[in-house]
């Protein structure tokens, strides 16, 4: 007879919910970050962030730069354009000054957003 534990996936196998990089509340980083995996930010970053997984900007955190990831969840303050291949979630305490590019957008009540939003699924090549 199988036990309930046999149906629960071990935490080490759940990559989508894991945190690969964490920036602490008292930490300030000046410079760009290019990450493989997921990041959660509690501190301040002055630079662009690109991640293969998700970027989570917690309430009270601040980012001055562009964000690009599969999924972006904002709870803090971001000044810069953000782009996600999957989904962007603006939490109730988020404040975004910048443009959004994503096929799926969730804006929770209380979120503040100043910028433009592009939700087209098909992107045209950028002309230089």
Report residue 121's pLDDT band, with 50, 70 and 90 as the boundaries.
low
Q: What residue ranges do the domains of the chain occupy? A: 9-109
For residue range 6-45, what is the model confidence (pLDDT) as tens digits? 333 333 333 456 888 999 999 999 999 999 999 999 999 9
Q: DSSP of the chain, one letter per residue?
A: ---GGGGSPPGGG--TT--SEEE-TT-EEES-EEESS-EEESSEEES-EEESSEEEE-TT-EEES-EEEEEEEESSEEES-EEEEEEEEE-TT-EEES-EE-S-EEE-TT-EEES-EE--SSPPPPP-
pLDDT tens, position by position, 56-76: 999 999 999 999 999 999 999
pLDDT digits (tens, 9 = 90+) for 61-120: 999 999 999 999 999 999 999 999 999 999 999 999 999 999 999 999 999 999 999 998
């Amino acid at each position: 007879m199988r036990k309930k534990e046999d149906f629960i996936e071990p935490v080490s196998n759940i990559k989508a919910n894991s945190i690969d990089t964490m920036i602490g509340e008292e930490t300030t980083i000046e410079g760009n970050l290019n990450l493989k995996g997921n990041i959660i930010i509690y501190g301040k970053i002055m630079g662009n962030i690109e991640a293969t997984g998700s970027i989570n900007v917690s309430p009270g955190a601040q980012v001055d730069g562009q964000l690009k990831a599969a999924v972006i969840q904002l709870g803090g303050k971001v000044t810069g354009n953000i782009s996600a291949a999957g989904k962007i979630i603006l939490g109730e305490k988020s404040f975004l000054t910048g443009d959004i590019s994503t096929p799926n957008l969730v804006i929770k009540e209380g979120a503040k957003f100043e910028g433009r939003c592009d939700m087209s699924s098909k992107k045209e090549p950028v002309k230089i």
